[in-house]
Amino acid sequence: MDLFLQYLITGLTVGSIYALLAVGFVTIYNVTGVLNLAQGEFAMIGALSCVTLVNLGIPIFGAIPLAILITAIIGLAVERLAINPARKATPIVLVVITLGVSIFLKGMGLIIWGTSPKSLPPLVESKSIEFMGAVVNSQSLWILVVLIAHLVVLYWFFEKTFLGSALRASEKNPRAASLMGINTSTMSMIAFTIAAGLGAIAGVMIAPLTDATYEMGFFIGIKGFVAMIFGGMHSIPGAVAGGLLLGVIEAFSGGYISTYYSDALAFGFLLLVLFFRPQGLFTKATGERV
């Protein structure tokens, strides 16, 4: 029983990391219709710049907002310099551009921070907690808190504010949105800035658990992307649920079947989802909502 609980908790911990990444993916996709393959690199930049700021002597509570700000500015620059000039191109071209951006950012990360892993102190220094025979890392509780805050704030932002509605409109129907006086180009810029900030939050939250390296973005980016597909591409709550589900599948398949195959099993499950529920696990297949 305590093994089951340990696997479940580990799965939720890892899954919440994927979920944080997936939220950033969905945000950009919902506004621009572009899959941003550089989302993992935003997390990397957030984590590593936070490490640098902490090493400069800035307390962690000041370093985190600064790191998020720096990453958001980089996100804005990426959109203005790489995405916006090609905004008339097809989505697939834009996706390839984000792939290029991802490789570029990773290269810059290597030059600036080197290859050795850097660790970041957790928000609150505390020992891990014993819970019914299973061990819970206190940082993973913070990640869950942040995840819930994401859900609430993003729901409020996209559903209840004018800017949020404008952002959603520019993906649903860019032409109609333009006719309504929404500048879709500005919306795309805002979406990238927000997503980069979200990526940075993900980075600084997970770095105390996993340490930060210049190449951390690729792996968590892929997993975040899978979580997004589980959730049906468009839905932020769906992506969060997808991330948690992916983490739990990995943990249980590793725990009860074999750790050699946990990735294979998780991706096998992804294929099943794509075959039988391509619209995602957590959305109703109702077609376009009008």
Partner 1 sequence: MKKILKGKLVAILSLVFLVVIAGCGIEKEEETSGEKKEGGVIKIGVIVAETGPASTLGSAQAKTVELLQKQLDEAGPIDGNKIQLIKQDYETNDTKAVVAMDKLISEGVVAVTGATQSSTTMAIIPKAIEKKLPLFTIAPIQSDSEYVYSMAQSTTVIAIPIVEYLKKNNIKKVAWVNASDGFGVTGKPAFEALAKENGIEIIAHEEFDATATDMTIQLTKVRKSNPEAIIVWSRTPGAGIIARNFKALNFDIPMIQSTAAANQGFLEQVKDDNENILVVGSKLSVIDQLPDSDQKEMLKAFNDSYVKEFNSKPDLFAAHLLDGVNVVVNAIKAGNVTSEDIHNYLQNDLGTYLGATGTFDFGVSQASPEPDGISVLSIENNDWKFTE
Binding footprint of partner 1 on the chain (CB under 8 A): 3, 6-7, 10, 13-14, 17, 110, 114-119, 128, 135, 137, 206, 209-211, 213, 215-216, 218-220, 251, 254-255, 259-260, 262-263
Which pair of tokens denotes residue 223? 């997993």
Q: In the bound complex, what is the minimum distance in angstroms from residue 197's beta carbon to partner 1?
A: 21
Nearer to partner 1, 117 or 164 (CB): 117
Cβ-contact 13, 140 below 8 angstroms: yes
For residue 285, what are its two tokens?
């297949």
Based on CB atoms, which residue is closest to partner 1, 13 or 193? 13
Q: What share of the chain is helix, strand, coil (3-state, %, to 5)?
A: 75, 5, 20
Tokens 């928000």 map to which residue? Answer: 123
Q: Which is nearer to partner 1, 99 or 135 (by Cβ)?
A: 135
CB-based contacts of 65, cutoff 8 Å, min separation 6? none
Q: How far is the CB of 251 from partner 1 (least distance, A)?
A: 6
Residue 244's nearest CA partner among 26, 7, 9, 11 is: 11
Structure token pair of residue 77: 């620059």
Residue 134: strand pairing partners: 131
Minimum distance, C-beta of residue 31 to partner 1, in the bound complex (Å): 28
- Give whichever of 32 and 137 is closer to partner 1, judged by the CB atom: 137
Q: Which helix (H) or strand (E) holds 171?
A: helix 162-172
Q: Which residue's CB is nearer to partner 1, number 126 or number 161? A: 126
Cβ 14 to partner 1 shortest distance, Å: 5
Q: Which residue, 127 or 284, has its beta carbon nearer to partner 1?
A: 127
Minimum distance of partner 1 from residue 115's CB (angstroms): 5
Other beta carbons within 10 angstroms of residue 101's beta carbon come to 22
Q: Minimum CB separation from partner 1 for residue 6, in Å?
A: 5
Shortest distance, position 184 Cβ to partner 1, whole Å: 36
Looking up tokens 């990360």 gives 109
| Cβ nearer to partner 1, comparing 83 with 200 | 200
Of the two residues 1 and 285, which places its CB atom closer to partner 1 in the complex? 1
**Whole-angstrom distance, CA of residue 208 vs CA of residue 221:** 18
Q: How far is the CB of 228 from partner 1 (least distance, A)?
A: 18
Between the two ends of the chain, the Cα-to-Cα distance in Å is: 47
Which helix (H) or strand (E) is 47 found in, with range? helix 39-55
**Residue entry with tokens 């991330």:** 243
Residue 75, classed as helix, strand or coil, is helix
Taking the C-alpha atoms of residue 83 and residue 10, their distance in angstroms, rounded to an integer, is: 37
Residue written as tokens 């096998």? Answer: 268
